[in-house]
Amino acid sequence: MPATVIVGAQWGDEGKGKIVDLLAQDSDLVCRYQGGPNAGHTIVHDGETFALHHVPSGILAGKLCVVGAGCVVDPGLLVAELDELEGRGVSTTSVRVSGNAHLIMPWHVAIDSASERHLGRLQIGTTRRGIGPAYADKAARIGIRVQDILEPKILRQKFETALAEKNLVLERIHGVPPLEVEELAERMEAYAARLRPYVADTSLLVDHALREGRRVLLEGAQGTLLDLDHGTYPFVTSSSPLAGAAATGVGIGPTRIDRVLGVAKAYVTRVGEGPFPTEIEGPEQARVRELGAEYGTTTGRERRCGWLDLVGLRFAARVNGMTSLALTKLDVLSAFEDVPVCTRYRLPGGSETEEFPAHQSDFHHAEPVYETLPGWLEPLEDAESLADLPAAARAYVAFVEERLGVEVSLISVGAERERVVAPRGLASVAG
Ligand code: IMP
């Protein structure tokens, strides 16, 4: 059962890092297939906390870790992350970065911030890490790729050509100071020298691993509703976090993927702008935020919090072909006497639907219809099996399974890797 995709089923921050960290113990390879340093995983490993942006969390378990072709890489941030890991005694010799991945250059970061400022109240609320501008240049076929760092002359040439145009954009369109060519070129060359040993043909590497029957995890960043094609456009990221994109993002065929594990919180969070039907009104939102420590790993921003949205989750199950679901942070709901779950949306004309609206205006005006489940008001942290959970918590999980038509194969009840219940055993999740 070699290849399993781990995909965010909401708006990101579902706790994928922790699930990957857990499953990586019994895997051989962990690959990122899209996104860049807009993602952030906080992982508690052997009592130490690590915040990773580029490197897959499998690195802490000493696994081969791949940054696939579908990713965008900020060389300065990647170098800092590698140095930080090495500095804390974690070897990074098993990290491989696809030569086809694109580089996020300083002008991408500058343009991301400048264009958000320009949009004013229409802004997307990006992480300002240069993600959109880097993917835009990739699609326009003027991007600089990781493999360009292997040839200093070519890198320098591409750098100068790009900067001649980008400085005009920065100055004339956005009214911000241009970037200084010499200083930046020197910095890039230093990063290039540090990163050269990590560059590899990662598509071939993953193919070999699969042929040898090794277990491969394909780790998505962000989440389904932030997908460029199927998410809540334009309040989305600029890549495809969906399970289907895992194949193109690492460079294998879709027939090589065996399982798709969706990851969803037992409630919902969203950072940045955009519609959010189940966003909690009133003081309970702040309560969920405090209990769940819902502040961005990458930006430190407060996350908006809402009740579980089964309409969105059903959509995620569909577009990802989810084979099972990991339900995270169930313990956060222990504080609530009643737990509302959105099972339908009421649309502007008054009709109700269980399907995610295909039209943006319907989604923007959708009102959540809730069914309220009794809370359990007991801590869950020490639960080791389904039977250890209070009856009301088990009923909550069963309700989700039944309404979704997807089995819940993992339930997380605390921050550490061990605080996970696997009702049918871990082997059923990733083979
Ligand atoms: P970008 O990916 O930085 O361009 O941001 C686009 C949208 O995706 C914004 O709403 C961000 O807040 C959101 N976003 C990007 N990465 C993440 C993530 O890892 N978790 C949650 N939201 C994210």
Q: What is the pLDDT of residues 283-303, one digit of tens each?
A: 999 999 999 999 987 778 899
In testing the pocket of ligand 1, which one of 271, 297, 298 has its CB within 8 Å of the most ligand atoms?
Answer: 271
Give distance in angstroms: CA of 10 to centre of ligand 1.
12
Q: What is the mean pLDDT of the chain?
A: 94
Cβ–ligand 1 distance for 238 under 6 Å, the answer: yes
DSSP code at position 105: P
- Segments in the chain below pLDDT 50: none
Ligand 1 pocket, residue 125 CB under 6 Å: yes
Which is the closest atom of ligand 1 to the Cα of 299? 12
Residues carrying CATH 3.90.170.10, the chain: 3-87+202-430
Task: Select from 1.20.120.1200, 3.40.50.720, 3.40.50.12280, 3.90.170.10 the CATH code of 3-87+202-430.
Answer: 3.90.170.10
Surface-to-core class of residue 214, CB atoms within 10 Å of its CB (0-12 exposed, 13-18 middle, 19+ buried)? middle
- CA distances for 22 relative to 19, 62, 171, 346, 421, angstroms: 5, 13, 47, 38, 11
Q: Which of 222, 230, 233, 269 to mutate to test the pocket of ligand 1 (most atoms within 8 A of CB)?
A: 222
In whole angstroms, how far apart are CA 31 and each of 63, 75, 266, 393? 10, 18, 26, 33
Alpha-carbon span 427 to 431, nearest angstrom:
5
How far does residue 267's CA lie from ligand 1's centre (Å)? 18
pLDDT of residue 2: 79
Burial 316-326 (b: 16+ CB within 10 A, else e): bbebbbbbbbb
pLDDT tens digits for range 230-251: 999 999 999 999 999 999 999 9
Q: Could you please report the per-residue DSSP string of 277-306? A: TTBPPSHHHHHHHHHHT-B-TTT-PBPEEE
The reported pLDDT for the residue numbered 50 is 85
How many CA atoms lie less than 13 Å away from 284 in the CB half-sphere?
Answer: 15
Rg (CA), the chain: 22
266-301 in b/e form (b: 16+ CB < 10 A) is bbbbbbbbbebbbbbeeeebeebbebbebebbbbee
Whose CA is closest to 67, among 146, 159, 154?
146
224 and 325 in contact (C-beta within 8 Å)? no
pLDDT of residue 431: 60
pLDDT for 214 = 96
Q: The tokens of 57 are what?
A: 């969390």
Topology, domain 102-198 = Adenylosuccinate Synthetase, subunit A; domain 2 (1.10.300)
Written as one letter, the residue type at 238 is: S
d(CA 345, CA 19): 30
Phi-psi region of 274 (alpha: psi -120 to 50; beta: other; left: phi over 0): left
What pLDDT is recorded for position 418? 82
Q: What is the pLDDT of residues 19-34, one digit of tens each?
A: 998 999 999 999 999 9
Question: Which ranges in the chain are annotated with CATH 1.10.300.10?
Answer: 102-198
Q: Which residues belong to the active site?
A: 13, 41
213: helix, strand or coil: coil
The reply to whether ligand 1 has any atom less than 6 angstroms from the CB of 224 is no
Report how far residue 382's alpha carbon sits from residue 199's, in angstroms, rounded to the nearest whole number.
43
pTM over 0.85: yes
Say if ligand 1 is within 6 A of residue 61 CB.
no
Can you name the residues that pair with 368 across neighbouring β-strands?
345
